Amino acid sequence: MNTEDALRQRRSVRAFLNKNVEPEKIKAILAAASHTPSGANMQPWQVAVVTGSSKQKLQSKIEDSFRSEESRKGDFQYYPLTWKHPYKRRRVNCGRQMYNALDIQRKEKQRRFEQWTANYRSFDAPVMLLFFLDSTMQTGAFLDCGMFLQSIMLSAMEYGLSTCTQASLSEFPEIIKENLGYPQDSTLVCGMALGYEDTSAAINSYRTPREEVESFTRFYA
């Protein structure tokens, strides 16, 4: 698979087979992604690979906290505080596509809630990846980490694996750091579900559209 094909075919997968991912594949993906560029070659990313009983224990605590409506706050503000167009429209359309694929109506609040709760289990993928930055890192390290995430997602495709990056998991930094032994002053960037796609699942059937190049690019000659 060439690079352009990988970029076009990559998508966020939200239903996975009940099939473990071989540890050697995870290591190979991370080894490939380690070649991601970073400012001054800092390589600021830190990764937790959470599987098996450790994943079950952690996701149960996160989900329980979410269901009990405990207050939660990430280490940084991911989404805008005020949504404006075209970003608001794209966000709404993205959610609409997902719920339409699942045939969940707007009035079905409990079904919507349960579907959103699946975020905190990494959609029951066998692998939950969590990404951290040292407390000394600044905004530039987020750029490096973003490139690192993309490298992982593309590398995973080489091994027949699918992914979904998850900002939702960054809402529970205290629980995650305490359970995994990371310093509380470190920055939890996000999570990522990793596993084998369930191609029969309705939620994996839709594709979000992309803007034309001319809509976000200015050419100067």
Going along the chain from its start, the domains and CATH numbers come out as 3-77+121-203 (3.40.109.10)
Is residue 34's pLDDT more than 90?
Answer: yes
| Phi, psi angles (nearest 5°) of residue 98 | -65, -50
The separation between the first and the last C-alpha atoms of the chain, rounded to the nearest angstrom, is 34
For the chain, give the mean pLDDT. Answer: 96
Give the pLDDT score at 1.
80
Tokens standing for 61? 């605590």
**Confidence label for 152 from pLDDT (cuts 50, 70 and 90):** very high
d(CA 119, CA 193): 9
For residue 178, list its beta bridge partners.
Answer: none
* Report field, pTM of the whole predicted structure over 0.85: yes
Residue 39 pLDDT:
97
| pLDDT at position 192 over 90 | yes
The model's confidence at residue 72, banded by pLDDT at 50, 70 and 90, is confident
- Distance (Å) of CA 52 to CA 33, 59, 80, 140, 153: 23, 11, 35, 33, 21
**pLDDT tens profile 172-183:** 999 999 999 999
Q: What is the dihedral of CA 115, 132, 78, 94, to 10 degrees?
A: -40
